[in-house]
Amino acid sequence: MKKTESFLTAPPQRAKYEALAGILKALAHPTRLFMVDQLARGGPRCVCELTEMVGADISTVSRHLALLKKEGLVAATKKGTMIYYQLRLPCVVNFLECLHSVLSSNIQDRLKLLS
């Protein structure tokens, strides 16, 4: 008798969700999310500009950007010794809006609990 197929034992389906989760993981960090948001609003920025905006060590910022790039969220372009990063897919912006709506809905619900 065959045991019931589950998410964890179905490799192709599982691989799909692992890939999707990988993309989300790249976004799921305050600094990276901030940078993505900046790129969405202000267009391409070089590492040094982003470093200035973030206020962390440049090596840290570089690592964050490498991860975003690895997951296909940003693309890099060389200009002299500088490297400009830009957002790769526009839908990420709506994404952020939905996120905002989750957040404000959470806050509203918590407000309701008080009254």
Partner DNA sequence: GACTTTTTTGGCTATTTGGCTAAATTTGCA
Partner DNA sequence: TGCAAATTTAGCCAAATAGCCAAAAAAGTC
Give the footprint of its own copies on this chain (CB under 8 A).
4, 6-9, 13-14, 17-21, 23-25, 27-34, 37, 52-56, 71-73, 88-89, 91-92, 94-103, 105-106, 109
CA distance 13 to 7: 7
Q: How far is CA 52 from CA 37, 40, 45, 47, 82, in A?
A: 15, 17, 11, 9, 14
Does position 67 interact with DNA (CB under 7 A)? The reply is yes
Q: Is 50 in contact with 38 (CB distance < 8 Å)?
A: yes
Structure tokens at 3: 């045991």
User: Which stretch in 35-43, 62-70, 91-99, 103-111 sits in contact with DNA by CB under 7 A?
Assistant: 62-70
Q: Please give the DSSP secondary-structure letter assigned to residue 94.
A: H
By CB under 7 A, name the one of 82, 93, 99, 103 that touches DNA.
82
Residue 115 contact partner, candidates its own copies, DNA, none, CB within 5 to 8 A by sort of partner = none
Cα separation, 62 vs 47, whole angstroms: 7
Among DNA, its own copies, none, partner that 82 touches (CB below 5 to 8 angstroms by kind): DNA
**CB closer to DNA out of 36 and 46:** 46
**Does residue number 29 form part of the binding site for DNA (CB under 7 A)?**
yes
